[in-house]
Structure 1
Amino acid sequence: MKLTLEELNKTIMEMRTKGYLTEALKLADQGLLVALETNNYPNVLDLYYQKILVHHALGDTLCIVSLIHDYEAICQKYGSSKDLMHYYLVMSLIYDLVGIREKTVEMTKKSITYAHELQDPIMLVRCHNNLCYLEVEKGCTKEALRAGLLAREYNKSLARTLPDLAKLHAIRINNNLADVYILEGDFITGKALLDSTLTSDIIQHHKREKVAALFGYGFLYEKQNKLEEAVSYYKQAIELAQSYGDKAITKKVMRLLLNVLYQLDWRDKIFDVQREYIDLTEKMSVDNLLQQVMNLEFKRQKEKLEKKAHYDPLTGVLNRHFLDYELPEWLNVASMTQSYVCITVLDIDYFKLFNDMHGHLFGDRVLQLLANGLKEFLHEEDVKIIRYGGDEFILCMRHQDKDYIKSLVKNTHAYLLTLKLEQQHQSFPLKVSMGACVNDQKNYQFKELFELADSCLYQAKDNGRASYVLNELS
């Protein structure tokens, strides 16, 4: 029996939880091909996310960075709040791997905001545990303890529905909390948490988590000035990390091992580890990972500036720049492919009353409700949404089937009339008037189509508002 893409995504997560990473990666690759071929973007995003988490567990940072470009592009275009939450988590992992702490914290906190908004138990555990780790890195033990204990509480809820995943998260939380207690000098509690990790019945299937525990023991004994024991555990952590190719963790533990060897004045050992450390650093330089991530950041900042120029900051839809500079090419493509084009003009009935009675901030929320409704309803259609000015919006639609466009206009208007703004236990239904003009596969002149659509809008107003009028050229 073939699995659906939703079932496949769930299966991959279960395989990751059990440590079957290679098998999970193969399934994710197969599912991603199917999802891309069928333009099933929600599942495309889920499978990209699963692939990235598998590569992270394998310590394959280069693969994560190579995937993030396509993942980000699809997420920005088709992603929901859930996908953005996953995206920010992934970015926090990448920034952490290259040591850009400020961006790591920023991305983690963005992911946490979405996790709280969506009440996603898995992400609430993961994000707060990541924050615990980051606060440990900064030496902020109080903040780290707070985040770690929060992660533990959320994990108790998770255990009721996903016990296997909760068991894995418990190991990760204990590893991070152990570091907190060790920094605070509570070596007994720290050791007890690490002991619980290494005696877990699932730890042999999770090398990354076992490396973290071995590293924790090294840290514990170093803080107790039991340096020879620290060397032993740091070495075990390095060997295990090397066994599955995790360069970032290997380098981190080698640096700590060198510090202990200097304290012991073990010169021969220092020379050997230094040589390995330099070789590893050179290999990571060849990978040029930091430069790739910085290029990614530069590209993102550039796109932000471009978006600021092309998009309306209040509603997030296109501004008049599209009409002035990009619409001619869009219409040219429609003409070449002999697609039908529909220009639709719409506005909010009695919008001025919203501002006069409830204030301009309320009016802004009404505009955002309308824009978000349009984006949500039309996200799979070949439609450009433009804020023309004030409460007036333009939709530029194209499709091979004229009847499809006519139905889309009708259904879009019906959907907008279902939108309501809730405030202080009151409900404010959205009333929208709409005028549309569908071309005849001959007239592709925006000005003429717009004027006809605008005329239809006024007819809709005259008809009593909250209605639409469509002009069909023939």
Structure 2
Amino acid sequence: MDDIGAWRSGETLELTLEELNKTIMEMRTKGYLTEALKLADQGLLLALESNNYAYVLDLYYQKILVHHSLGDTISIVSLIYDYEAICEKYGTSKDLMHYYLVMSLIYDLVGVREKTVEMTKKSIVYAQELQDVMMLVRCHNNLCYLEVEKGCTKEALRAGLLAREFNKTLYETQPDLAILQDIRINNNLADVYVLEGDFVTGKALLDGSLTSDIIPHHKREKVAALFGYGFLYEKQHKLEEAVPYYQQAIELAKSYGDKPITKKVMRLLLNVLYQLDWRDEIFDVQREYIDLSEQMSVDNLLQQVMNLDFKRQKEKLERKAHYDPLTGVLNRHFLDHELHEWLNAAKMTQSYVCITVLDIDHFKLFNDVHGHLFGDMVLQLLADGLKDFLRGEDVKIIRYGGDEFIVCIRHQQMEYIKALVKHTHAHLLTLTLEKNQQIYPLKVSMGACINDRINYHYKDLFEQADSCLYQAKDNGRASYVIYELS
């Protein structure tokens, strides 16, 4: 497994990455985090090199979960930018489910509770849609923890018991992971029972966690159990008995660098020490707490996360300005403000450029006979057909106005562009829309102009492509015409 380079055979690449992904998850489950991280780094390089974005996303997700288990918040935040960008471009429902879980972990680590709950619930929606039992266990258990933090014991108990039910199903397919999830669920439910005053049940659950055969390999889960004991004794007003458990939890969290958990338990320990009036201990812990707070302030994680959120909101606004709200493709803003740079980049790399103009045959008839809502659906069908077929190509899709669209294509080979135009048109003619049990095929005419790697003037290329579009109409519609500059 260590020699990734030995696995670089084209036919086995998919299988290799699948096995690698599975192995990393098994390592995480068994607590071999450093080894899992090393393997994830190697696998990510291989997946990126082969443009296998499905596994790129899986491996980013694996890396982030390993860093979370290690308490390395800075690495998580630094990874999220690239992870989010790739997820937005190539992500499936599964990847969005993972992404929202990751964002919930980040918001939890910096203490933004409302966003943590919001992201967790979004992940649950996808998990329910996909019937992903593992994620349903994890997300409902996270909700249990979040409701405990808010002091909402009934909601916490409901979420924790739901996680436990889903975990019974997980035992059938992934028993090792289900055992680890049981410890996590029991740690959270123990806090619920302690808050409710059922100290016997709470202690029994924590005893189960600390005596588990796998707990020595899972420091984060052991910290949670030790913290749970401290919480248990504190709520029973056995303050002196609470102190050593909080101290053990702090030392263990410090051993693997988990600053957020260390700070959280220190705050609880200080509360107990103040009640005991143990002044020397208060001074030592308080000094360490202040030092840790200053370190975390230097890390500036909250600000980084808030900047990330601001950047996301800004991009949403920019997207609204640059994209057509009905079809989701670019609007004329791209032609007016960004196409010039796009063409210059093509000129610098001596790529061929093709400007393609297309519209829907007899579109006015759709609107007149079936109404404008149906017409909107036809426009969306065309836009989605273009986006799906041209995914991964170096293209820009623009709604020019009404039912007219422009596709700008760059490539090093003219023949490739000609084939792409031909196959794109053929694909669009396979699309259909249904209304009142009647099928309506999409009919599209297309004109294209491919440059000569000398003329990169949009106006010249567009006028020729537009002329080709009218030729396609004259040829009986539902056809395409390509012109090559020479």
Q: TM-score, normalised by structure 2?
A: 0.89
Q: Select which of 384, 404, 425 maps to 1:413.
A: 425
Aligned pairs for 1:127-142 (under 5 A) are 127-142=139-154
**Matched residue type, 1:303:** E
Q: From 323, 332, 335, give the equivalent of 2:347.
A: 335
Partner amino acid for 2:188?
N
Which letter does structure 2 place at the counterpart of 1:283? Q
The answer on 1:240 being equivalent to 2:252 is: yes
Q: Distance in 1 between matches of 2:77 and 2:257?
A: 16
Report matched runs for 1:139-178 at 5 Å. Answer: 139-178=151-190
Cα deviations by residue, 1:149-180 (Å, 9 ceiling, x for unpaired): 33233333333222222222222222222222
**Secondary structure of 1:437's partner?**
strand
Match in the other structure for 2:82: 70
Q: Deviations over 1:7-63 (max 9, x none)?
A: 222211111111110001111111222233333333222222211111110001111
Which position in structure 1 is the counterpart of 2:20?
A: 8
What amino acid is the match of 1:9? Answer: N
- Give the corresponding residue for 2:310: 298
Q: CA deviation at 1:337?
A: 2.0
Is the counterpart of residue 286 in structure 1 residue 325 in structure 2?
no
Whether 1:37 and 2:49 are equivalent positions in the alignment is yes
Equivalent residue letter for 2:86: I
Moved more, 99-108 or 417-426: 417-426
Superposed structure 1 runs of 4+ greater than 6 Å apart: 422-427
* Structure 2 match to 1:308: 320
CA RMSD of aligned residues (A): 2.5
Q: Partner of 2:71: helix, strand, or coil?
A: coil
1:377 aligns with 2:389: yes
Aligned-partner Cα distance in 2 for 1:426–1:178: 59
> How many percent identity over aligned positions?
84
Q: Say which SS state the counterpart of residue 297 (structure 1) adopts.
A: helix
Structure 2 equivalent of residue 51 of structure 1:
63
Aligned-partner Cα distance in 2 for 1:350–1:212? 66
Shift in alpha-carbon separation, 1:383–1:247, aligned structure 2, 3 A? same
Q: TM-score, normalised by structure 1?
A: 0.91
The 2-side partners of 1:11 and 1:340 are apart by 44
Aligned to 2:109: 97
Structure 1 residue 422, shift from structure 2 partner: 6.8
1:318 to 323, 327, 330: 330
Distance in 2 (CA, whole Å) between partners of 1:282 and 1:88 is 29
For residue 464 of structure 2, what is the aligned residue in structure 1? 452
| Partner amino acid, structure 2, of 1:294 | M
2:402 aligned partner, one-letter code: G
Q: 1:141 to 1:328 in 2, by over 3 A?
A: same
The one-letter code of the counterpart of 2:303 is Q
Indicate the residue corresponding to 2:237 in structure 1.
225
Alignment correspondent of 2:10: none
Which range moves more in the overlay, 403-412 or 68-77? 68-77
Residues paired across the two proteins, number: 474
Paired with 2:59 and 2:191, the residues of 1 have a C-alpha distance of 33
Q: Note the alpha carbon deviations across 1:336-390, whole angstroms, 9 max, x for none.
A: 3221111122334454555556654554444344333332332211101112223
| Partners of 2:273 and 2:212 in 1: CA distance | 31
CA offset digits 1:183-208 (Å, max 9, x no partner): 22333332332233223222221111
* Structure 2: distance between partners of 1:123 and 1:6: 19
Paired with 1:124 and 1:465, the residues of 2 have a C-alpha distance of 51
2:314 & 2:41 partners in 1: Cα distance?
31
Cα distance in 2 between the residues matched to 1:125 and 1:148? 9
Aligned counterpart for 1:112 among listed residues 115, 119, 124: 124
| SS at structure 2 position matched to 1:345 | strand
Shift, 1:69, TM fit: 2.1
**Structure 2 residue identity aligned to 1:168:** L
Q: State whether structure 2 residue 221 is matched by structure 1 residue 209.
A: yes
Gaps of 5+ in 2: 1-5, 8-12
The C-alpha deviation readout for 1:75-127, integer Å capped at 9, x for no partner, is 33333333232222222211111111122222222222332333333322222
- Report the CA distance shift for 1:390/1:289 in structure 2 as closer, same or farther (over 3 A): same
- Which residue does the alignment assign to 1:275? 287
Which amino acid is 2:280 matched to?
A: D
Query: Which residue pairs with 1:442 in the alignment?
Result: 454
Code of the residue aligned with 1:310 in structure 2: it is H
SS, match of residue 245 in structure 1: coil
Deviates more, 1:309-318 or 1:51-60: 309-318
Q: Report the counterpart of residue 73 of structure 2 in structure 1.
A: 61
Tell me, in whole angstroms, the C-alpha distance in 1 between the residues paired with 2:406 and 2:65: 40
Could you say what secondary structure the match of 1:434 adopts?
Answer: strand
Return 5+ residue gaps in structure 1 as ranges.
Answer: none
Residue 442 to residue 425, structure 1, CA distance change in 2 (3 Å): same
Q: Distance in 1 between matches of 2:440 and 2:111?
A: 48
